[in-house]
Amino acid sequence: MLLRLEVIIVIYLENVSKTYSGGVKANDQISLTIPSGRIFGFLGPNGAGKTTMIKLITGILAVDSGRIEVNGIDIAKQPLAAKKQIGYVPDTPNMFLRLKGIEYLNFMADVYDVSLDERQVRIADLCRRFEMTKVLKNPIQSYSQGMRQKIVIIGVLLHQPSVWILDEPMTGLDPHSSYVLKEMMREHVNNNNTVFFSTHVLDVAEKICDEIAIINKGKILFTGDMAEMREHFRKNESLEKFFLELTHDEQ
């Protein structure tokens, strides 16, 4: 029997705007719905507003206007409950550098109330998959950029959040780790969860995303699923050409 999973709106943005104190309008009236069961890629050139939007969704920054909900929970009204739904990997994973890997993972497990038994199993499994078991006793300070990224990814996955929000997760990962992460992203959405990630790497987006949004200068220029993307590919030959045409500045 074929089991059809119901698609639900997991991340909901309505007319979201954010201007920094310097006057840069990083997000301008953004409305977006991100469904369950899909890998959703967020593409845009440098400075387009991707990280800003991710920080608004994760409650790190507050919106100037508009509304954001995660699993139906308003991030401004119930920030703790909304944040519990999310596993967020920032673009610069340089934190808690003095802690050893295992100390950091235990800290994260404590923060998210993961029991001792559960954390033991999950840490062992995730560290095996990302080949991090041997370095857990070393301080994060001594890790390479990719290893730091992996320990942060493992840390946020310990509480098994349903919504993964990853800012440029492939940057710095070697081919094996990047493959493992992509595989895990697919497994996660196959269980009707949600993965939302930003990337510059168009090849990655083309290969693994079910849906994409393209942002430039704080505005969403395109959203669509694979079928709609292919429609555009036919006209534009590749996602790269489509992306460049959409985001290219007329000088």
Ligand X SMILES: Nc1ncnc2c1ncn2[C@@H]1O[C@H](COP(=O)(O)OP(=O)(O)OP(=O)(O)O)[C@@H](O)[C@H]1O
Q: Residue 48 binds what, of Mg ion, ligand X, none (CB under 5 to 8 Å, by partner type)?
A: ligand X
DSSP designation for 95? -
Q: Residue 44 binds what, of ligand X, Mg ion, none (CB under 5 to 8 Å, by partner type)?
A: ligand X
Under the criterion CB under 6 A, does residue 50 sit at the interface with ligand X? Answer: yes
Residue from 36, 52, 149, 194 that binds ligand X (CB under 6 A)?
A: 52
Q: Residue 26 binds what, of ligand X, Mg ion, none (CB under 5 to 8 Å, by partner type)?
A: ligand X
Closer by beta carbon to ligand X, 49 or else 101? 49
The nearest distance, CB 234 to ligand X, in angstroms, is 28
For residue 18, how many C-alpha atoms fall within 13 Å in the half-sphere facing its CB?
26
Sign of the CA dihedral with 58 first, then 118, 149, and 97 last: positive
- For residue 197, what are the β-bridge partners? 41, 166
Residue 163: CB partners within 8 Å, gap ≥ 6? 10, 11, 70, 71, 85, 86, 87, 193, 194, 196
Under the criterion CB under 6 A, does residue 90 sit at the interface with ligand X? Answer: no
The nearest distance, CB 23 to ligand X, in angstroms, is 9
Whose CB is nearest to Mg ion?
51
- Taking the C-alpha atoms of residue 181 and residue 176, their distance in angstroms, rounded to an integer, is 9
Sheet containing 9-19: give its strands across. 25-35, 9-19, 65-70, 73-74
Which among 43-51, 59-67, 95-103, 135-143 is the span making contact with Mg ion, rule CB under 5 A? 43-51
Under the criterion CB under 5 A, does residue 51 sit at the interface with Mg ion? Answer: yes
The nearest distance, CB 141 to ligand X, in angstroms, is 24
Best CA proximity match to 109, nearest among 92, 123, 127, 88: 123
Closer by beta carbon to Mg ion, 51 or else 106? 51
Under the criterion CB under 6 A, does residue 155 sit at the interface with ligand X? Answer: no
Best CA proximity match to 40, nearest among 25, 28, 50, 52: 50
Best CA proximity match to 209, nearest among 69, 80, 46, 34: 34
Number of residues that bind Mg ion (CB under 5 A): 2
Under the criterion CB under 5 A, does residue 52 sit at the interface with Mg ion? Answer: no
Residues in touch with Mg ion (CB under 5 A) = 50-51
User: Would you tell me which residues interact with ligand X (CB under 6 A)?
Assistant: 20, 22, 24, 26, 44, 46-52
